[in-house]
Structure 1
Amino acid sequence: MPRASREDAERHREEIIDAASRLFREKGIEGVSVPELMAAVGLTHGGFYKQFKSKDALAALAFERASTKIVGELRERIAAAAGTLEARQVFLDAYLAPEHRDNPAMGCVLSCLAGDLGRDSDQGLRDAFMRGMGRMIERLEAVEDPAPLATLSTLIGAVALSRATMGTPLSDEILDAVKDSLSTQK
């Protein structure tokens, strides 16, 4: 019986990290309470601290999960388009897509939570964010981007501004302008 409860605990832990990954990107770290997070996976909030030291500790794990996921998705898109478009262009098209802008819960953690990190002093959270940036920079280097840090910064800013202006023509204009600008850089 103890083995089953350890397995259940591990499964619940993974479910909580997945839910936090989505909810934190959608609502921000401070926009999600522990009871709300636990309810999202059908658990009571009493078990949270058996699994995680703090909400920030969970956020760091959620950042890791989200950044690994988005890099994997970009890698898959690039592989699927092999031979049809330049890999860098596939990356740009995917990151600057309206679908990415419109679905922050499944999008890049960097564009969703950069503002939150500017207000948070938790070093573990900052370290996880930096590792996520590193993964994205490595992916940009892999597609031979000429200035990966500048490109990543531009992409994050473009998606954040596009989300801030959603529902207006400017939102799409931002994505298109940045895509056009970055597409001409070789």
Structure 2
Amino acid sequence: MKNLPPTKSERTRRFIIEKAAPIFNKKGITGTTLSDLTEATGLTKGGIYGNFKDKDAVAVAVFQYHVENLTAFLQREIDQGTTSIEKLLAIPKAYRKLYSTMMAYGGCPILNTAAEADDTHQALCRLTVDAIESMKKIIVSLVGNGQIFGEIRHTTDPETFADILIALIEGGTLLSKATGQDTYMMHCLDHMEGLIHDIRITE
């Protein structure tokens, strides 16, 4: 069955999400106002709340939009690799490609949302945890497959390795954004690449 074209309502929701996304990422949930949304979209309050229950609902949809886009980009980069090591190395490579755009965009949407929603917005907090766990599963799977096919040392614990890589990505992003210095992120990505090479079985 062919996919049906989006309805007018679906197109409007998508339009609102795309216009609201950079605002929420830079100003946060609390800092983003209804006036920001009406100005960015050119819609009235009724036009926005006719498609979303409230501002929190827009924030949730925006976060899901960010995660979908980031996941799709990372997966495309990973899929270009042939071996498990190549696929793992595609992750820091992808973040090097993303870095300038991400900083200009206000930083990593997952990190920004996690920091703000931790104690204030349970739904978004759960979604950020889900996004991090999803990323972790990808890395765990790549390491596990590499061990099965004799590419990666069996002494490597996939879950621990995934935790370290994710912490390097998010920590580097946070420090670079806070200080305005690229070196934090670049050093973290360099270290990621070194760790990936270190778990490789060499003949």
Q: TM-score, normalised by structure 2?
A: 0.73
Aligned to 1:89: 89
The code of the aligned residue for 1:130 comes to V
Residues in 1 aligned to 2:131 and 2:123: alpha-carbon distance in whole angstroms:
12
The code of the aligned residue for 2:65 comes to R
- Cα distance, 1:66 vs structure 2: 0.8
Give 3-state SS (helix, strand or coil) of 1:184's partner: helix
Aligned to 2:26: 26
Give 3-state SS (helix, strand or coil) of 1:144's partner: helix
- Cα distance, 1:143 vs structure 2: 3.5
**RMSD of the TM alignment (CA)?**
2.5
Residues in 2 aligned to 1:144 and 1:29: alpha-carbon distance in whole angstroms:
36
Question: Contact between 2:113 and 2:124, CA under 8 Å: does it hold in 1?
Answer: no
- Cα distance, 1:47 vs structure 2: 2.6
Instruction: Confirm whether residue 131 of structure 1 aligns to residue 130 of structure 2.
Output: yes
Give 3-state SS (helix, strand or coil) of 1:12's partner: helix
The sequence identity of aligned pairs, in percent, is 26
Instruction: Confirm whether residue 182 of structure 1 aligns to residue 196 of structure 2.
Output: no
Taking a change above 3 Å as real, the CA distance of residues 94 and 128 of structure 1, as seen in their structure-2 partners, is: same
- Cα distance, 1:96 vs structure 2: 4.5
* Candidates 157, 160, 163, aligned match of 1:149: 163
Runs (5+) with no aligned partner, structure 1: 1-5
Runs (5+) with no aligned partner, structure 2: 1-5, 145-157
Question: Contact between 1:13 and 1:51, CA under 8 Å: does it hold in 2?
Answer: yes
Residues in 1 aligned to 2:137 and 2:66: alpha-carbon distance in whole angstroms:
16
Runs (4 or more) in structure 1 with deviation over 4 Å come to none
Deviation sequence 1:42-79 (CA, Å, 0-9, x none): 21123322222222222112111111110110111222
- Cα distance, 1:28 vs structure 2: 1.9
The code of the aligned residue for 2:138 comes to R
How is 1:102-121 mapped onto 2 (pairs within 5 angstroms)?
A: 102-104=103-105, 108-118=108-118, 120-121=119-120
Residues in 2 aligned to 1:54 and 1:93: alpha-carbon distance in whole angstroms:
38
- Cα distance, 1:26 vs structure 2: 2.7
The code of the aligned residue for 2:9 comes to A
Aligned to 1:3: none
How is 1:7-26 mapped onto 2 (pairs within 5 angstroms)?
A: 7-26=7-26
How is 1:52-63 mapped onto 2 (pairs within 5 angstroms)?
A: 52-63=52-63
Question: Contact between 1:39 and 1:45, CA under 8 Å: does it hold in 2?
Answer: no
Residues in 2 aligned to 1:47 and 1:115: alpha-carbon distance in whole angstroms:
30
* Candidates 172, 177, 198, aligned match of 1:163: 177
Question: Contact between 2:67 and 2:131, CA under 8 Å: does it hold in 1?
Answer: yes
- Cα distance, 1:152 vs structure 2: 1.2
Residues in 2 aligned to 1:132 and 1:19: alpha-carbon distance in whole angstroms:
22
Question: Contact between 2:74 and 2:94, CA under 8 Å: does it hold in 1?
Answer: yes
Residues in 1 aligned to 2:25 and 2:82: alpha-carbon distance in whole angstroms:
30
